[in-house]
């Protein structure tokens, strides 16, 4: 994993639907929340005496929601050996940041499986304690990825919520990954408890560009654009 910067996400923001001051305020918070840890780690020697390395990742997702305000989500992580650190913005709720720490377990040769249980907290519009789990598995050109979390809201137990994002994909060629995805979220208003769709990602150099099309056969369909930069 590496430090992915949400260049496309920021460039796709709809300025016409956001007052300039509010827009810049959100961007300032997002940039500080995600880039500062990367900068601090980059200033250090990323290889210790035993040859182990830190690795970083940040991903940006921009939601094009018909008849509603578009929104964006940022996810950043840092890994050292089995230690996994992660931060999210606009994931549990609008203007809400969350941070996690976890430990990765993995096994397998031809069939590979990994699990990363995490504990975290969310602050902002929603405050809470957040146990979470990330799972991944792969076999030849097939792979599965899932991230789930259960937010225990400090304000009221009626606001507790179970979030899910899962992908089942194939990689027919090295640069292309495509498949189906499901999610359960309260980031925006929706009549569907669980939403499903299709997606495709294309990777080149250190970039991965993706597009997700949810609820393709329904009137409440929407698109998510994503960009990741690894280094």
Considering only 37-46, 139-148, 150-159, which range has the smallest mean pLDDT? 37-46
Across 5-14, average pLDDT:
37
φ, ψ (nearest 5 deg) of residue 125: -60, -30
Q: CA 136, CA 124: separation in Å to the nearest integer?
A: 29
pLDDT band at 51 (very low <50, low <70, confident <90, very high): low
* 49-53, 176-180, 223-227: least confidently modelled range: 49-53
Q: According to the model, what pLDDT value does residue 19 have?
A: 45
Question: Is the pLDDT reported for residue 25 higher than 50?
Answer: no
| Range of weakest confidence among 2-6, 39-43, 133-137 | 2-6
Mean pLDDT of 95-100: 98
Which H helix or E strand runs over 111?
A: strand 111-124
Q: Which CATH superfamily is domain 7-229 in?
A: monomeric porin ompg (2.40.160.40)
CA–CA gap between residue 106 and residue 229 (Å, rounded): 24
pLDDT at 188: 85
- Inter-CA distances, 107 with 75, 100, 110, Å: 25, 23, 10
What does the pLDDT read at residue 139? 97
| pLDDT over 60 (residue 187) | yes
pTM of the model: 0.79
């Amino acid at each position: 994993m590496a430090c992915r910067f949400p260049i496309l996400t920021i460039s796709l923001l709809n300025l016409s639907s956001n007052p300039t001051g509010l827009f810049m305020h959100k961007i300032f918070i997002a940039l500080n929340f995600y880039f500062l840890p990367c900068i601090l780690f980059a200033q250090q020697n990323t290889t210790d005496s035993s040859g182990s390395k830190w690795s970083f990742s940040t991903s940006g997702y921009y939601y094009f929601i018909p008849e509603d305000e578009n929104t964006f989500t940022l996810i950043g992580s840092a890994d050292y050996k089995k230690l996994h650190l992660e931060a999210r913005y606009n994931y549990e709720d609008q203007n809400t940041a969350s941070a996690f720490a976890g430990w990765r377990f993995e096994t397998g040769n031809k069939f590979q499986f990994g699990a990363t249980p995490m504990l975290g907290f969310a602050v902002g519009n929603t405050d809470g304690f957040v146990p979470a789990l990330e799972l991944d598995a792969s076999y030849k050109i097939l792979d599965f990825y899932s991230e789930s979390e259960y937010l225990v809201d400090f304000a009221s137990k009626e606001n507790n919520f179970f979030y899910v994002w899962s992908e089942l994909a194939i990689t027919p060629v090295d640069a292309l990954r495509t498949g189906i995805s499901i999610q359960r979220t309260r980031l925006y208003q929706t009549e569907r408890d669980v939403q499903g769709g299709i997606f495709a990602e294309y990777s080149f150099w250190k970039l991965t560009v993706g597009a997700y099309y949810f609820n393709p056969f329904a009137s409440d369909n929407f698109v998510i654009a994503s960009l990741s930069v690894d280094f």
